[in-house]
Amino acid sequence: MIQKLVADLGPWSWWLLAAILLVAELAAPGVFLIWIGAAALVVGALSLALWDMGFWGWQIQLLLFAALSVVFAIAGRRYYDRKHATTDEPFLNQREASLIGRTATLQEPITEGRGRIRLDDTWWPVQGTDQPAGTRVRIASAHGRTLTVEKAEG
């Protein structure tokens, strides 16, 4: 059935595949199917021009489609890579990292390397050298939800 559909549609089968992939990207966005759909569009455009050529068989079309899919996906990933994007809120969605350098008072003593502090409206588990409750500590680092603290100066 699919083979007959592809044979009947000819070069338009690539356009149909591209439309299906692009609609799937709209239904389940992930910025991935768009690149595969773009590869299908390019192969479809080339198929319209080269369909009657002897060398333009299904094998060449599939190889070109696969290669373009990989190239477009890599190029798209690099284009949309947000790792180096500057922002005025560098710790957005990284609450633990935004706490580094703040000071707090131990609500529970650190015994055997573990204790708790209260910052704003949240209780945080902390680790560090044993300290009595009421000691001022500075947050040195964050590992998941656990904060590493050291005794605050002054």
Instruction: Say whether pTM exceeds 0.75.
Output: no
Relative to beta strand 103-111, strand 122-127 is: unpaired
* pLDDT values of the chain reduced to their tens digit, one per residue, 154 residues: 666 765 667 788 888 889 999 999 888 877 788 999 999 999 999 988 887 788 888 888 889 999 999 999 999 888 877 666 676 766 667 777 778 889 988 989 999 999 999 888 888 899 999 999 989 999 999 888 889 999 888 6
The pLDDT value recorded for residue 64 is: 94
* Residue pointed to by tokens 């149909």: 16
Confidence (pLDDT) at 84: 62
Angle between the N-to-C axes of helices 58-80 and 33-50, in degrees from 0 to 180, rounded to the nearest 10: 140
Q: What are phi and psi of 130, to 5 degrees?
A: -60, 130
- Ordered by where they begin, the domains of the chain are 2-80 (no CATH), 95-151 (2.40.50.140)
Q: Are 98 and 89 in contact (CB under 8 A)?
A: no
